[in-house]
Amino acid sequence: MIQSWRLEDARQTLVLAARRERLPEVVYWGPPLPGADAETLFAARTLDVTGGMLDENPDLSICPEAVRTFPGQPGIIIRAQDGAPLLPKFCFAAEETRENGLTLTYTDADSGLTYAASFDLDPDTHIITAQARLTSDTPKHLHWLSAPVLPAPQQSDEMIDVSGRWCGEFQLNRTAWSPGIRYRENRTGRTGHEHFPGLLVPCRGATNTQGEVYAFHYGWSGGHRMIAEALPDGRRQIQFGHAARMETSAATEFRSAPLYAVYSSDGLNGCAVSFQRHLRDRIITWPKPATPRPVHYNCWEAVYFDHNMPVLKDIASRAAALGAERFVLDDGWFGNRDDDTRSLSDWTVDPRKFPEGLTPLVDHIHQLGMTFGLWFEPEMINPDSDVHRAHPDWALGGEDQTLGRHQKVIDMANPEVQSFIHARMSAILRDHAIDYIKWDHNRVLPAPDAAQTRGSYALIDRLRREFPAVEIETCASGGGRIDFGILQRTQRVWLSDSNDALERLKIQHNAALFLPLAVPGSHVGPRECHTSGRHLDISFRAWVAAQRHMGFEMDPRELDDREAAVLSEVTRWWKDNRDWMTGADILRLDSADPSVIAEQQMTREADRFVVFAGRNGTSAQIAPRPLRLTRLSPSATYRVQLVNRNAASTLSRGAPALKDGPIEVSGTFLMHGGLTLPWSFPESIWVLEGRQT
Ligand code: DGJ
């Protein structure tokens, strides 16, 4: 007897099937499947057996069981309280179905364990959210719990996962499938620059714009483990869960974080658009959904810790004149924080820098028509702080631990600590008209601990309940805590500490596989970049910032008249376009020239788009290769114009039509012939607008 369950939408079908009340396996996941009863599917997929094999191949279930001679990594590794390893063997107990979702429950009487897996398919975004829950009749020690296990296709030669570093987030790694495991485990206790929890599995021939791709994201901020395993019989499984042994005490209930998964038949972009829409429209709760994303100003790279009221007011006035609508006062306003060696956790305004408190600055900023934001790093404590002197036991880790940026992590799982930090932060928020928090997290944990992440989530949730109008930016030395878990409670990410537009171009491009325009902040940095030493023209810096949630971070006093004029103009353009761009999809283009990184941001209706084609180096060939667009209506006519055609260099002597003005061509031409752009310098960007006529 086969039990089966089916989830489907216009894009995909997922069929789960099980025999003899065992845990089910995914017997089909792909484009919409006509008819076919599960019994037939199950039988049709059954692998043959030959010499050297068991008499029947063990199921690759949603939670592979070691006790059934499964030849790969099991879905659960758990011990009794006395340390004895347990090998649960689950049997069907209950099902609960709902619209586009189901929860299946299984029990193992011998170990007293109950396993429940839930699957929910969003028919609009096409994201499948899968989550596992394990309960026990007595406390047990958990080593590993995978979110429900999904198969990976065998028509795939490689997988793409994500690594990075400070100022170089979202680097894509392509790894060939081979027997055994591609194993990523993040034991730092925070999502990290190095370990964005995402995986893309393209089938042979897939690119940004075409082909089949399966994609996964694990929504958890405490560090994950990913297992992409090719079993000896060729089958492939994908497991995602918290990093192993993050539960430090025995317990009776454990949960995986949500695993977000999607199938696409139109390339990496199909997955990217699903993640972008799901994050923006389902996961994030926007305090003021009807308010446009405000142009942001952050004073960090202008003044660092040197907070001086007249200077800050002057900078704020200049930022407002350039078009900024929000001013964020970064690190340096509290305790006696003159550098990064002290005062974290002393969340009271520094009277030396702000003798009358923050209110005069906040008032000045409001008079300029801007809202006000403030920086905190709530999970951290400096040994040189009043709070540490009073409560040295509040810090995690041993006395002899290696510090990170001179700081320790404060124990968020301790209710007393959480209440203290909450009281300090809420007092600041209550006493000032604050619309925005930049929430930083600049070091890793001394040891991974899921309770710390849950404590951080609880603090943010509590503050959000009390101050629902306050927006929060997640930052961790730039992009060190970006995932859908933190984004359930925050709205913006500081994608990278790199304000170098050339680096940003690459980071933003790859991050678009998961993040929509509304979420990653992108700031126009100083003329000489502080993290790379590079000098980049204002036009390039401004347009790269205009690709995402635009902001400035340079000292506006350094701008000459030309730079101020260019920045004001690009900012005006961004404001004129942000309403439709915020709801648009970011589509990565398959550029024929590796020195061109290009994307197309387009409305759902495919009637309006903007293309950014950035040059990250010199090209191998002399003339630009045509750039093919994507997802347009083939027979529609589009009017396309080069927004910044005045930026054409004097070395560009030819006559491509776009240099003179708009062209009107069909969607088919744009998608197959492509756009022939004027010749340009490296470190420059073409911006094109298109409208269906
Ligand atoms: C790291 C952040 O990424 C920066 O933007 C800035 O806020 C500093 N911390 C402040 O210490």
In the residue annotation, 48 being an active-site residue is answered as: no
Q: Distance from the CA of 323 to the center of ligand 1, in angstroms?
A: 23
Q: Distance from the CA of 491 to the center of ligand 1, in angstroms?
A: 17
Residue 36 has pLDDT above 80, yes or no: no
Q: Distance from the CA of 652 to the center of ligand 1, in angstroms?
A: 41
Ligand 1 atom nearest 478 alpha carbon: 3
pLDDT tens digits for range 325-347? 999 999 999 999 999 999 999 99
Ligand 1 atom nearest 494 alpha carbon: 3
Ligand 1 atom nearest 477 alpha carbon: 3
Distance between CA atoms of 651 and 357, rounded to whole angstroms?
55
Ligand 1 atom nearest 304 alpha carbon: 10
Q: Distance from the CA of 494 to the center of ligand 1, in angstroms?
A: 9
Tokens standing for 574?
């961004």
Contact 113, 65 (CB under 8 A): no
CA distances from 392 to 44, 382, 409, 445 (A): 63, 10, 11, 16
Ligand 1 atom nearest 476 alpha carbon: 3
Question: Which pLDDT belongs to residue 35?
Answer: 85
Ligand 1 atom nearest 300 alpha carbon: 6
Query: Which of 440, 492, 522 maximizes ligand 1 atoms within 8 Å of its Cβ, making it the mutation to test the pocket?
Result: 440
Question: Which pLDDT belongs to residue 600?
Answer: 98
Q: What DSSP state is assigned to residue 501?
A: H
Q: Distance from the CA of 440 to the center of ligand 1, in angstroms?
A: 7
Distance between CA atoms of 57 and 124, rounded to whole angstroms?
37
Question: Which pLDDT belongs to residue 133?
Answer: 98
Q: Distance from the CA of 532 to the center of ligand 1, in angstroms?
A: 16
Mean residue pLDDT across the chain? 97
CB contact set of 494 (below 8 Å; sequence gap of 6+) = 438, 473, 474, 475, 478, 479, 521
> Residues with Cβ within 6 A of ligand 1?
300, 330-331, 375, 440, 442, 475, 477-478, 494, 497
pLDDT tens digits for range 569-615? 999 999 999 999 999 999 999 999 999 999 999 999 999 999 999 99
Residue 487 has pLDDT above 80, yes or no: yes
The stretch 679-685 carries a mean pLDDT of: 96
The stretch 294-317 carries a mean pLDDT of: 98
Q: What angle do CA 679, 682, 688 make, to 5 degrees?
A: 55
Question: Which pLDDT belongs to residue 41?
Answer: 92
Place of tokens 């709801």: 583
Structure confidence at residue 243 as a pLDDT band (50, 70, 90) = very high
Ligand 1 atom nearest 475 alpha carbon: 3
Place of tokens 């069929």: 15
Query: Which of 407, 477, 500, 530 maximizes ligand 1 atoms within 8 Å of its Cβ, making it the mutation to test the pocket?
Result: 477
Tokens standing for 148?
């429900």
Ligand 1 atom nearest 330 alpha carbon: 7
Please state, as a whole number, how many other Cβ atoms lie within 10 Å of the Cβ of residue 344: 30
Closest CA to ligand 1's atom 4: 477
CA distances from 47 to 43, 58, 382 (A): 9, 10, 59
Q: Distance from the CA of 632 to the center of ligand 1, in angstroms?
A: 40
Query: Which of 330, 337, 339, 474 maximizes ligand 1 atoms within 8 Å of its Cβ, making it the mutation to test the pocket?
Result: 330
The stretch 160-175 carries a mean pLDDT of: 98
> Rounded to the nearest 10 degrees, how much is the dihedral formed by the CA atoms of 59, 60, 61, 67?
60
Residue 38 has pLDDT above 90, yes or no: no
Question: Which pLDDT belongs to residue 648?
Answer: 87
Distance between CA atoms of 440 and 276, rounded to whole angstroms?
23
Q: Distance from the CA of 331 to the center of ligand 1, in angstroms?
A: 7
The stretch 354-370 carries a mean pLDDT of: 98
Residue 1 has pLDDT above 90, yes or no: no
Contact 544, 504 (CB under 8 A): yes
pLDDT tens digits for range 53-68? 999 999 999 999 999 9
Closest CA to ligand 1's atom 2: 477
Handedness of CA 503, 506, 511, 512 (dihedral sign): positive
The stretch 143-156 carries a mean pLDDT of: 98
- Compute CA 626 distance to the chain's CA centroid, rounded to the nearest angstrom: 31
Q: Distance from the CA of 312 to the center of ligand 1, in angstroms?
A: 17
Query: Which of 497, 498, 504 maximizes ligand 1 atoms within 8 Å of its Cβ, making it the mutation to test the pocket?
Result: 497
Contact 257, 219 (CB under 8 A): yes
Question: Which pLDDT belongs to residue 657?
Answer: 95
Query: Which of 344, 377, 439, 442 maximizes ligand 1 atoms within 8 Å of its Cβ, making it the mutation to test the pocket?
Result: 442
3-class SS of residue 649: coil
Question: Which pLDDT belongs to residue 96?
Answer: 98
pLDDT tens digits for range 624-652? 999 999 999 999 999 999 999 998 888 99
Ligand 1 atom nearest 438 alpha carbon: 7
Query: Which of 376, 494, 523, 553 maximizes ligand 1 atoms within 8 Å of its Cβ, making it the mutation to test the pocket?
Result: 494
Helix residue spans in 467-550 (DSSP H): 501-511, 538-545
In the residue annotation, 346 being an active-site residue is answered as: no
Q: Distance from the CA of 392 to the center of ligand 1, in angstroms?
A: 25
Contact 380, 441 (CB under 8 A): yes
Query: One of 497, 500, 555, 585 is an active-site residue; which one?
Result: 497
Helices 359-367, 309-322: inter-axial angle, 10-degree rounding: 20
Closest CA to ligand 1's atom 11: 331
Question: Which pLDDT belongs to residue 423?
Answer: 98
Distance between CA atoms of 357 and 307, rounded to whole angstroms?
12
Backbone angles phi, psi at 576, to 5 degrees: -65, -25
Per-residue H/E/C for 128-141: EEEEEEEEEEEEEE
Distance between CA atoms of 282 and 126, rounded to whole angstroms?
12
The stretch 400-412 carries a mean pLDDT of: 97
Closest CA to ligand 1's atom 10: 331
Strand-pair category, 150-151 with 296-298 = unpaired
Distance between CA atoms of 435 and 183, rounded to whole angstroms?
41
The stretch 260-269 carries a mean pLDDT of: 98
Distance between CA atoms of 370 and 319, rounded to whole angstroms?
10
Tokens standing for 510?
């790859």
CB contact set of 545 (below 8 Å; sequence gap of 6+) = 501, 504, 522, 523, 524, 551, 552, 570
Query: One of 108, 161, 346, 440 is an active-site residue; which one?
Result: 440
Please state, as a whole number, how many other Cβ atoms lie within 10 Å of the Cβ of residue 673: 13
Q: Distance from the CA of 383 to the center of ligand 1, in angstroms?
A: 19
pLDDT tens digits for range 535-578? 999 999 999 999 999 999 999 999 999 999 999 999 999 999 99
The stretch 10-34 carries a mean pLDDT of: 97
Q: Distance from the CA of 307 to the center of ligand 1, in angstroms?
A: 15
